[in-house]
Structure 1
């Protein structure tokens, strides 16, 4: 039955309001311009999973970032949250609460629970879909309005813009973001493009979780191969510089290691990484390979009971950690507790070379920090 007027539930509405200030106004204009230059909306890989907590004031709050590639990653993060909560209870001298948190954490090590109630609060593994805008020239790069505060090599220190994000349909959004939300909510994989169970779950989710919330954008490195752009990995970065730093490591470490390049052969890749650091550019060509930092939109579907959790069709290859431990024991892959372990495994030449390249990169970064008068990682 169609719902009209005041009978429409909040999670099915999209409240649009004018920008709060000049920064928001510029961001809304940039979002609108992106629709013209990058008119196509494409999937940016599989879903990501994080942990949300129900708020007394209404809505749900993100407490563990959408970095999990499978539902079990989210369950592991939920268990870690319960252990941190147990530490807070211990500092407060509340032993019963501490024990409840520890019991909940232990359950996550044995059971596949996507939602748990601890100390009267509901926690849930939530699911986010990733999309990228694209046009004739490829995927959309970062926008000038995207926060990008850190120096090259220091992006891992940047706070996650989505930390503490509140999923609440009462919160208003800008015009361009509201239109994007409508577009993303209408997307369902076409028949034949994905397995039937994946499409079936997507169609069901459109009915059970018809609302949605857009998280702050993330970023990933893409490469143009045979005229088509593809992601370099499934991981995303919280800032554009974080993605550039990942690409720089790829150029200085991973490509030379995988290809077995000698010092002279590494020079073009190191020079490209240096240019990436100096210019903070979002596009780079080196030795015939064309890279670009792409901007990724993330949508969390919302239903009458809050954010959508994992779907049955989501790839979830690993069991909980203790179940996995028991399986490895049964297969003889690890020794029984208390048994003597084998001698430490020695790294082969290939692994040693990778370690040496990473050590070289870390030394370079330390020298840069020292040159800027900044403390080292161990001092900060």
Structure 2
């Protein structure tokens, strides 16, 4: 008989592993140095993605879509697309396709945070994004963070963030990471700038989801403005991905967005090429603007039934909708014109 209760150990379980392998020791040393240099914790807010558990109610959760979306509805839309394309491309069985499309119809009309489809449990997973800083400057990449053997400045592909990451709070981790997780267990929104319902849900989460898992580090480019900083790019899987995004911005997007004269566009391109020549530089001044590559952390809260999902106080900018054409159980796709003519006949 199956059970709805997860086989995972208590959410507060943590296992520390001291690895004397030279690479592991170097990573641990870098983490230790970073925690002494960058001591101010800055919480940026929630991000969302989709994780799966199979069979439902048993085993660990595995990330399906990167936990980087700014709104839960974006993650639901990603799941909508995932199931729609599975129905389109991954089966010839009408019964299987029918079940997949039934889940798609639910996602088109309801802001659900969990679905079980074909013995796979899908959940919207919520994480808090944070950055450590020093003197208002975010922590840069560490020397042992992943870098390509041969930097590619012209491509767009990058190490996929979170791909197949298992959200396992009981997995062994280094001493610094475990200490960080212990400190983050008490993290919640306290400032008056947060609405009361946000502060309430955040405090409740410490009781309902007391455990913490750290997702793989991510990287983005930030712009420094006075004592604050603003993200310029989305999250990348490697520091090089963020550096490449910055040079693409300077070479391709700024000239178009600002309608720059040819000479000015060439100057920005030259700055980008100089930055590329340094290979692993993490900051760049452009006129009166300073851009840096920041190392971004994300934490997922864990409860007795797995990772935390969206909270009642989390806000979506839009609701569910149909984002793909209608498909029947035989795989026939109908491109319907949903525009209705509301004019009256005379």
| TM-score greater than 0.5 by the shorter chain | yes
Distance 1:159 1:191 in 2: 36
Q: Tell me how far 1:86 sits from its aligned partner.
A: 2.7
| CA pair 20-47 structure 1, distance change in 2 beyond 3 A | farther
Q: Tell me how far 1:74 sits from its aligned partner.
A: 0.7
Distance 2:96 2:219 in 1: 39
Q: Deviations over 1:299-336 (max 9, x none)?
A: 0111111111011211201111239x9xxxxxxxxx85
| CA pair 134-100 structure 1, distance change in 2 beyond 3 A | same
Match of 1:108 in 2: 107
Distance 2:64 2:293 in 1: 27
> For 1:169-180, what aligned pairs fall within 5 Å after superposition?
169-180=169-180
The answer to whether the Cα contact below 8 Å between 2:108 and 2:322 also exists between their aligned partners in 1 is: yes
Distance 2:322 2:96 in 1: 23
The answer to whether the Cα contact below 8 Å between 1:27 and 1:145 also exists between their aligned partners in 2 is: yes
| CA pair 169-63 structure 1, distance change in 2 beyond 3 A | same
Q: Tell me how far 1:154 sits from its aligned partner.
A: 4.8
Match of 2:273 in 1: 274
Q: Deviations over 1:223-257 (max 9, x none)?
A: 11124333225x21121111112211221233333
1:302 lines up with 2:332 in the alignment: no
Q: Tell me how far 1:84 sits from its aligned partner.
A: 3.6
The answer to whether the Cα contact below 8 Å between 1:268 and 1:287 also exists between their aligned partners in 2 is: no
The answer to whether the Cα contact below 8 Å between 1:152 and 1:277 also exists between their aligned partners in 2 is: no
Any idea what SS the aligned residue of 1:10 has? Answer: coil
Distance 2:273 2:42 in 1: 31
The answer to whether the Cα contact below 8 Å between 2:127 and 2:301 also exists between their aligned partners in 1 is: yes
> For 1:208-287, what aligned pairs fall within 5 Å after superposition?
208-233=208-233, 235-280=234-279, 281-287=281-287
Match of 1:157 in 2: 157
TM-score, with length taken from structure 2: 0.85
Q: Tell me how far 1:276 sits from its aligned partner.
A: 2.0
Match of 1:351 in 2: none
Any idea what SS the aligned residue of 2:245 has? Answer: helix
Q: Deviations over 1:139-176 (max 9, x none)?
A: 11111111122623356322325211111222111111
Any idea what SS the aligned residue of 2:11 has? Answer: helix
Q: Tell me how far 1:20 sits from its aligned partner.
A: 6.8
> For 1:86-235, what aligned pairs fall within 5 Å after superposition?
86-87=87-88, 89-90=90-91, 93-136=92-135, 138-149=137-148, 151-154=151-154, 156-233=156-233, 235=234
Q: Tell me how far 1:137 sits from its aligned partner.
A: 6.3
1:65 lines up with 2:66 in the alignment: yes
Structure with the largest fraction of strand? 2
Distance 2:265 2:300 in 1: 42
Distance 1:161 1:75 in 2: 18
Q: Tell me how far 1:88 sits from its aligned partner.
A: 6.0
| CA pair 173-55 structure 1, distance change in 2 beyond 3 A | farther
Any idea what SS the aligned residue of 2:213 has? Answer: strand
Q: Where in structure 1 do 4 or more consecutive aligned residues deviate above 6 Å?
A: none
The answer to whether the Cα contact below 8 Å between 2:223 and 2:289 also exists between their aligned partners in 1 is: yes
| CA pair 336-9 structure 1, distance change in 2 beyond 3 A | closer
Match of 2:328 in 1: none
Structure 2 residues without counterparts, runs of 5 or longer: 1-7, 326-336, 342-346
Deviates more, 1:27-36 or 1:168-177: 168-177
Deviates more, 1:256-265 or 1:235-244: 256-265
The answer to whether the Cα contact below 8 Å between 2:161 and 2:236 also exists between their aligned partners in 1 is: no
Q: Tell me how far 1:53 sits from its aligned partner.
A: 0.6
Any idea what SS the aligned residue of 2:293 has? Answer: strand
Q: Tell me how far 1:14 sits from its aligned partner.
A: 1.5
Q: Tell me how far 1:278 sits from its aligned partner.
A: 1.7
The answer to whether the Cα contact below 8 Å between 1:18 and 1:175 also exists between their aligned partners in 2 is: yes
The answer to whether the Cα contact below 8 Å between 2:41 and 2:130 also exists between their aligned partners in 1 is: yes
Q: Matched residue pairs, number?
A: 319
Distance 1:267 1:87 in 2: 46
Distance 1:161 1:167 in 2: 14
